[in-house]
Amino acid sequence: MNRYKQLSLRWKLVLISSLLIFVAFFLFTISQYHLVSKWLYREEQESMSHTYKEIKSYYAAGKKKDVQAEITRNKGVLENFNQEHQRIRIMDEDGRKIADVNNQFTPVIEVPASSEKKQTWQKYEEDNREIVSLKGPITIGDFRGTVEITRELNRFNRMTEALFVMMTFFGIGAIIVSAILGMVISKQLLQPVKELSETMRGIKQKGFQQRMKPARSGDEITELTNIFNEMMDDIESSFTQQKQFVEDASHELRTPIAVLEGHLRLLKRWGKNDPTILEESLDAALSETARLKHLVVELLELSRAEQTRTPKEEMVDIFEVSEQVVQRFATIHPRFFIHLEAQDQGTIFAAISEHHYTQLLLILLDNAVKYTSDHREIEVHLFKGTYDVRVEVKDYGVGIPADEIAHVFQRFYRVDKARSRELGGSGLGLAIAKRLIERYEGTIELKSEEGRGTTVILTLPLLIQ
């Protein structure tokens, strides 16, 4: 059993398939051998019965007087009816033998003659020979006797032996063929598994770039291959994002830290005795510290957005919360005209938490303020659909070039890096918004025209009360 456990999956499949085929063929052979043997034995019985009927018919058609004497004198008739390895005897009513013909049948044990009143069959072995005997009554005029036909089953035994040998060879051949087919089929079936193992080994040694070749068979192995490739795509994407995130975060943190370090060195050298340098360095240090704090907060928000679970019971009244956020934001930015318009000012419930919806709206409004130039107007439109809610935030600012739109949801991506740094932007706002809304099975879309403004569209599942 331990050796079997140590075998490879291929050899296990070969052994199991060969064993199953052997058992199936063995059962089939045994049943066929049994059926054919019964059929051959029945053929022997029918041949003997036919001889018995022919003898009865012959004597019944002849003269009805002195039948016993006729039988005794004319044994040639019985010899004509007799077959190879067969003996025919006719006894009178008292069991006395009146005729006995033999064709290559030599009994070792002489069975006493007897009379029978009905047809009987007997099968026995004699000196390792199978013998079958038929006894039946015969009545011709006043004569009443018994016909006994005894046959050695030579032909039956030869045929059954030949059948057994043939089936044995076929069985051995079937085992060999099944083993070969099992090896071929198992090799074919396990080839994708082998390729999967080699791909995993290659990934372990060389990285996440390797993939399995997609199969076209449409079976479970194909499904496993597709799932594996999809899983590796996700892992590689996550690894790449993590690597990019670390690189971007390191780059973003490096600048304020370098500024802080430079001003501290300046203070150490000349700032102790120069109030102007001291004031300038302290202001710069506070500014960079605030920027570091803002960056760390946004990194934490991004991490939370990626780990957010979506509770089924979360919901928010879109119009009510939007109105509150717009009012608060307008108070902070009094130079901007922020207009809220709803298609339906009644209660509109969306499947998102109030905190996260507020965060989403603030991110979009903050971006609109940062990238608006002279036309200081921001529009917020709410639309209620059959199955969803659409929120549009539109500004009339600098816009985004067409070739940059596809990248704006990436971490730390900024269209105008100098302007973003000047306005305190980190390039994480839209990345946070995208991950938040996707957690609630919503979508975010951005339309922009350079020099004419930008529209960001949020779509959230509608909750029907």
Q: For residue 407, what pLDDT is reported?
A: 80
Average pLDDT, the chain: 77
Q: For residue 223, what pLDDT is reported?
A: 76
CB 394 within 8 A of CB 369: no
Q: For residue 206, what pLDDT is reported?
A: 72
Q: For residue 248, what pLDDT is reported?
A: 63
Q: At what angle do helices 354-370 and 429-439 cross, to 10 degrees?
A: 150
Q: How far apart are alpha carbons 328 and 393 in whole angstroms? A: 16
Q: Cα-flanking dihedrals φ and ψ of residue 133, to 5°?
A: -130, 135
Task: Please name every residue paired with 134 in a beta bridge, in sequence order, or none if there are none.
Answer: 121, 149
Considering 196-205, 269-278, 337-346, the range whose residues carry the highest mean pLDDT is 337-346
- pLDDT higher than threshold 70 for residue 312: no
Lowest mean pLDDT among 225-239, 277-291, 446-460: 277-291
**Sign of dihedral through CA atoms 261, 264, 266, 268?**
negative
Reported confidence tier of residue 457, pLDDT bands at 50, 70, 90: very high
Read off the pLDDT of residues 100-149 as tens digits, 9 standing for 90 and up.
Answer: 888 877 665 555 556 567 888 888 776 677 888 888 888 887 788 888 88
Q: For residue 455, what pLDDT is reported?
A: 92
Reported confidence tier of residue 419, pLDDT bands at 50, 70, 90: very low
Q: For residue 451, what pLDDT is reported?
A: 83
The answer to whether domain 2-160 has CATH 3.30.450 is: yes
Reported confidence tier of residue 382, pLDDT bands at 50, 70, 90: very high
**Sign of dihedral through CA atoms 304, 309, 314, 320?**
positive
- pLDDT higher than threshold 90 for residue 193: no
Fold for domain 316-463? Answer: Heat Shock Protein 90 (3.30.565)
pLDDT: which is higher, 448 or 201? 448
CB 380 within 8 A of CB 340: yes
Read off the pLDDT of residues 60-72 as tens digits, 9 standing for 90 and up.
Answer: 776 667 777 777 8
- pLDDT higher than threshold 70 for residue 349: yes
Q: For residue 459, what pLDDT is reported?
A: 92
pLDDT: which is higher, 297 or 82? 82
Q: How far apart are alpha carbons 421 and 400 in whole angstroms? A: 17
- pLDDT higher than threshold 90 for residue 220: no
The answer to whether domain 221-307 has CATH 1.10.287.130 is: yes
- pLDDT higher than threshold 80 for residue 319: yes
CA dihedral 420, 422, 426, 431 (to 10 degrees): -30
Reported confidence tier of residue 394, pLDDT bands at 50, 70, 90: very high
Q: Which of 80, 42, 52 is nearest to 156 (CA)?
A: 42
Q: Which of 205, 222, 206 is nearest to 214 (CA)?
A: 222
Read off the pLDDT of residues 8-42 as tens digits, 9 standing for 90 and up.
Answer: 666 677 777 777 777 777 788 788 878 888 888 88
For residue 247, give every residue at least 6 positions away whose Cβ sits within 8 Å of its Cβ, in sequence order, or none.
none
pLDDT: which is higher, 267 or 396? 396
For residue 374, give every residue at least 6 positions away whose Cβ sits within 8 Å of its Cβ, in sequence order, or none.
none
Q: For residue 418, what pLDDT is reported?
A: 46
> What percentage of the chain has pLDDT greater than the value 90?
4
Q: What is the mean pLDDT of residues 223-246?
A: 75
Read off the pLDDT of residues 355-365 as tens digits, 9 standing for 90 and up.
Answer: 888 888 888 88
Q: What is the mean pLDDT of residues 247-262?
A: 69
Could you state, in order of their start, the residue ranges of all structural domains in the chain? 2-160, 221-307, 316-463
Q: For residue 385, what pLDDT is reported?
A: 85
